[in-house]
């Protein structure tokens, strides 16, 4: 449900019907209705984004807060969607998650962020680079390109003929050695690729 919402500018969140029998709707205001409180059931009133009034109960309608943007500085605000790594994976893979709480770690007395990603829950601080804003397609493409270029540079530098100390080598000879190293490593021009 949350992934399919095209948020209206004035929406603060949406209500989704638990049974799926009724359409979800976005709201611009949400106030707890103290006249309708029962054990295990809270009431909410307010206005939908189209201006119509609504009245819902928490056991029938699920509240979905509008996702909050985070720029990567400090801890993310509650509700911010992000990418995070897990210690059990050595922080080698990135997973989408959402910040569900912010607080103080009682042992270290530092601010922490609690992130839920699928069925996993993890705590993070601002240190360590283990969470980041969700990257755009352009950012992902640029990172992949930089990784490929870095890998190619390592191959060239590892080639036995790489001119590490020979400052007298001509530009064309250095270019030839570079191309030879790439060729020997198996790199080939892809048809339709850049000329």
Backbone phi, then psi, for 191, in 5-degree steps?
-60, 135
Three-point CA angle 12, 14, 17, nearest 5°? 165
**Tens-level pLDDT at each residue, the chain (195 residues):** 445 678 888 888 899 888 888 888 999 999 988 887 677 788 899 999 999 999 999 888 988 888 778 888 889 988 888 999 988 888 888 899 998 888 888 787 788 889 999 888 888 887 777 889 998 899 988 888 878 777 777 776 676 666 655 555 666 677 667 777 877 888 776 776 554
The alpha helices in the chain, defined as continuous H runs, are: 137-158, 171-184
- Nearest Cα neighbor of 178 from 145, 195, 147, 154 is 154
Q: Quick one: CA torsion of 46, 61, 11, 134, rounded to 10 degrees?
A: 150
User: For position 161, what pLDDT does the model report?
Assistant: 65
Domain ranges of the chain: 2-65, 81-133, 137-184
List Cβ neighbours of 159 (8 Å cut-off, separation of 6 or more): 177, 180, 181, 184, 185
Helix, strand or coil, per DSSP, at residue 116: strand
User: For position 195, what pLDDT does the model report?
Assistant: 43
**pTM for the complete prediction?**
0.50
User: For position 194, what pLDDT does the model report?
Assistant: 52
Distance CA 115, CA 66 (A): 16
């Amino acid at each position: 449900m949350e992934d399919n919402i095209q948020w209206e500018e004035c929406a603060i969140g949406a209500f989704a019907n638990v049974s799926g029998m009724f359409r979800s709707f976005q709201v611009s205001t949400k106030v707890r209705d103290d006249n309708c409180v029962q054990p295990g059931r809270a009431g909410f009133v307010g206005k939908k984004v189209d201006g119509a009034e609504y009245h819902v109960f928490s056991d029938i309608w699920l509240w979905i807060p509008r996702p909050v943007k985070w720029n990567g500085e400090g801890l993310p605000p509650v509700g911010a969607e992000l990418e995070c790594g897990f210690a059990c994976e050595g922080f080698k893979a990135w997973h989408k998650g959402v910040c569900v709480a912010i607080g103080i770690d009682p042992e270290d007395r530092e601010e922490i962020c609690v992130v839920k990603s699928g069925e996993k829950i993890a705590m993070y601080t601002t240190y360590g680079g283990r969470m980041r804003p969700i990257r755009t397609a352009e950012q992902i493409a640029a990172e992949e390109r930089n990784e490929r270029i870095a890998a190619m540079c390592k191959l060239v530098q590892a080639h036995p003929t790489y001119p590490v100390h020979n400052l007298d080598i001509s530009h064309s000879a250095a270019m030839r050695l570079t191309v030879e190293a790439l060729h020997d490593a198996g790199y080939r021009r892809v048809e339709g690729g850049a000329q």
